[in-house]
Structures are given as structure tokens and as C-alpha cells.
Amino acid sequence: MHGTQMAKDKIYDRMSADLPINSVVAPAVVDDPLEKGAKLKVMRSLRDDTLAYMHTHGQIDDAQLSAGRLWQRHHEDCEIGGARAIDPTKEAVDGGKFKEPDNSRYSEAFRALREARRVLGIDGYQLIQDVLGSRVTVTEAAISRGHCSMADRKYVGRRFRECLETLAILWGYAQRKANIR
């Protein structure tokens, strides 16, 4: 076997045994940035990543995870970034240039989010915005809507998964399920 074939079979274990107190992690296999085709087995933090947490615990499938990640990417592409506050205490420096925004990527992201808003409706889109855009947990999103009982919070969780499924169908990660009667 040659270099590339051997690298595809390699999975290096880089999982840490020393974890901070209160860490929320799960094992994950990722691409090795140093060796093409090789994989690394690592510990992945789930604390601030609702999608990864739900996927790891079997609450959402691969298509829903992919749709959620695509929504996040579109959301980030629509944000106007790069602007920083000016620090008047520092000396002005010539040569700093404003990076031109990628209008085609912005336009595509804006169009995709507009279509997502149309198919999800106002409430569904706002739930996706809160959990994926503002990075609150589903429980926090439920409580902010006045749904404090366990049954209400479970409903919001089901509604969030339904919204992810709708996005997965919209963006071609999943197919619409036939109604079985």
C-alpha cells in the first residue's frame, strides 16, 4: 500500500483523559489536518453546541444536523463582520484596508434564510434563530416563551426537531416522509 491508501486506514487516538470539572464531551472522529486521509479520534465539547449535543444523544439524525449546520453557515454569511471599535488611545496606522464583502455569498445566504423563514413560519424560524443563531439551549428557548412545565419544554424540543427536519427536506438532506395510515 502506498501513502494515501495507508492514511485512509489510520485513526489516531487523541482523546484526553484529563477533563475539566463539569465538562460535557463526547468522542468524535475528525479529519487529521496534518495527514491527508487520516482521521483523529478526539473528545469534542458539547456544552455550547446544541446541535452536536442532540446528535450525540440520538435526538436528531445526520440530515437534521447537516441542515442545522447549513442554517448556521448562512446566518454567519449574512452577518456584517470585521468592524471593530476604534481605540482612540492607540496611534493611527496607515495601510489598514477594509475587506470587501463577498456579495454573492451574502446574497445566496440571505436568499436561503428568506426561504427557510417562509417554510418554517414566524414561530418556527424564531425558534431556529434562538437556538442556532443566539446559541441558547432548547430548554432556555422554551422558558423564554413562557413554557416552563416539562410537557411544554418537551413540546418545544419536538417543534425544534420538526423545524430541523423541514430544513433538511428544503435543502435536500432528507426526503419528505410519506403519510402512513
State pLDDT tens for residues 92-150: 665 555 556 667 888 899 999 999 999 999 999 999 999 999 999 999 999 999 999 99
**Segments making up each domain of the chain, as ranges:** 1-47, 48-79+102-181
Global confidence as pTM: 0.72
Higher pLDDT, 127 or 53: 127
Bridge partner residues of 45 (DSSP): 25
- Whole-number pLDDT of residue 1: 45
* Cα distance between residue 113 and residue 37, in whole Å: 33
Q: Assign 19 to helix, strand or coil.
A: coil
Residues 52-68 as b/e (b if ≥16 CB within 10 A, e otherwise) read: bbbbbeebbbebbbbbb
In sequence order, the 6+-apart residues with CB closer than 8 A to the CB of 83 are: none
- Whole-number pLDDT of residue 97: 58
- Whole-number pLDDT of residue 100: 62
- Estimate to the nearest angstrom the gap between the alpha carbon of 169 and the chain centroid: 17
Taking the CA atoms of 84, 88, 93 and 94 in sequence, report the sign of the dihedral they define.
positive
* Cα distance between residue 27 and residue 128, in whole Å: 26
* Cα distance between residue 55 and residue 62, in whole Å: 7
In sequence order, the 6+-apart residues with CB closer than 8 A to the CB of 181 are: none
* Cα distance between residue 31 and residue 39, in whole Å: 5
State the chain's maximal CA–CA distance in angstroms: 72
Bridge partner residues of 29 (DSSP): 41
